[in-house]
């Protein structure tokens, strides 16, 4: 197991290096000049050049990349052009806000999808199966930003049960997830984030479990006198590696794909921060946010690979 884990970690290093290259290159080739956003209409070309030199944007791109990578390796992602604040602090604060609601959403989706998938597979072709499949297809098909707007209309505007946007009067610094007065701000973003992975994982669980239940060893278990519950436990164990892989992928997608949901609810996470950095053409903030999101996705996949090898020893033996 340790050798397998070491191999996976070593293979992750060049992937992370490639992530830094792509992250830096994609931001640099985007159109527009961020310096122009900071200059007044009466600023001279000399003022623009001085400001560009202050941010290191006057150097060749390879030199800029080496300098940027060296700073990133020691935890310095530079200064935000728009806010003149350290990028590292802004990104980590926003990432914390995103990862918490994303993890809650994906755990809820995983638990419910396991229950729904097992029920649908056990009642394959019946009314329960059709109803659960309809809910899963709805979850996969509905746009998250539209769902967010509908949730605001129903629960914030019409019923006045939940606040519409933000993280409360205290913001992210004073937010307490254990307090209902604060947590109620996170309820609708969590629901909007949880529905798509719920649909995807329900469909995957139902399909995988239906295939398992049709295999010969299941008939053997029943012939040995095991109850339907015990048979289902054996069957569910066989789909756990695939379920864990799907769980990790969906968590990665939620962390990186929460831009629209966080924008609708004004939730100060990485998606909201990324949207703000794009609009202001804030290159250091944009690079830092993309790098953290991409790195998180790579590390989540590493953790999923290791978890799968613990659940299914055949993976590490291969």
* Total-model pTM: 0.83
Say whether both 198 and 127 belong to one domain: yes
Domain that holds residue 36: 2-73
Say whether both 46 and 184 belong to one domain: no
Say whether both 69 and 110 belong to one domain: no
CA neighbor of 98 nearest in space, from 275, 303, 281:
275
Say whether both 101 and 63 belong to one domain: no
Query: Which tokens sit at 30?
Result: 């985007």
pLDDT of residue 30: 67
Say whether both 65 and 144 belong to one domain: no
CA triple 118-119-124, angle to 5 deg: 100
Name the more confident of 309 and 138: 138
Say whether both 301 and 152 belong to one domain: yes
pLDDT tens by residue, 254-312: 887 778 888 889 898 888 888 888 887 788 888 899 899 889 888 888 888 888 777 76
pLDDT tens by residue, 179-236: 888 899 999 999 999 999 999 999 999 988 988 888 888 888 888 888 888 888 888 8
């Amino acid at each position: 197991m340790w050798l397998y884990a070491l191999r996976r970690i070593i293979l992750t290093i060049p992937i992370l290096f490639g992530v830094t290259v792509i992250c830096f290159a994609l931001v640099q080739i985007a159109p527009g000049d961020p310096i122009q956003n900071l200059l007044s209409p009466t600023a001279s070309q000399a003022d623009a050049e001085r400001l560009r030199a202050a941010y290191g944007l006057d150097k060749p791109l390879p030199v800029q990349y080496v300098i940027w990578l060296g700073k990133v390796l020691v935890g310095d992602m530079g200064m935000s052009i728009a806010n003149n604040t350290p990028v590292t602090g802004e990104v980590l604060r926003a990432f914390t806000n995103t990862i918490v609601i994303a993890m809650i959403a994906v755990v809820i989706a995983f638990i419910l999808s396991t229950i729904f998938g097992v029920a649908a597979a056990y009642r394959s072709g019946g009314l329960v199966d059709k109803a659960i499949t309809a809910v899963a297809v709805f979850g996969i098909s509905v746009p998250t930003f539209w769902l967010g707007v509908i949730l605001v209309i129903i629960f914030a505007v019409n019923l006045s049960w939940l606040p519409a946007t933000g993280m409360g009067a205290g913001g992210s610094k004073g937010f307490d997830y254990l307090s209902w007065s604060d947590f109620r701000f996170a309820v609708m973003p969590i629901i909007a984030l949880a529905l798509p992975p719920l649909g995807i994982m329900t469909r995957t669980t139902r399909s995988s479990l239906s295939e398992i239940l049709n295999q010969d060893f299941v008939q053997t278990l029943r012939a040995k006198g095991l109850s339907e519950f015990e048979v289902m436990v054996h069957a569910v164990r066989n789909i756990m590696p695939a379920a864990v892989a799907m769980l990790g992928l969906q968590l990665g997608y939620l962390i990186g794909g929460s831009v629209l949901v966080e924008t609708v609810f004004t939730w100060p996470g990485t998606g909201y921060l990324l949207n703000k950095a794009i609009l202001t053409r804030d290159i250091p903030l944009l690079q830092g946010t993309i790098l953290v999101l991409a790195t998180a996705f790579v590390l989540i996949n590493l953790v999923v690979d290791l978890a799968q090898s613990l659940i299914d020893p055949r993976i590490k033996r291969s």
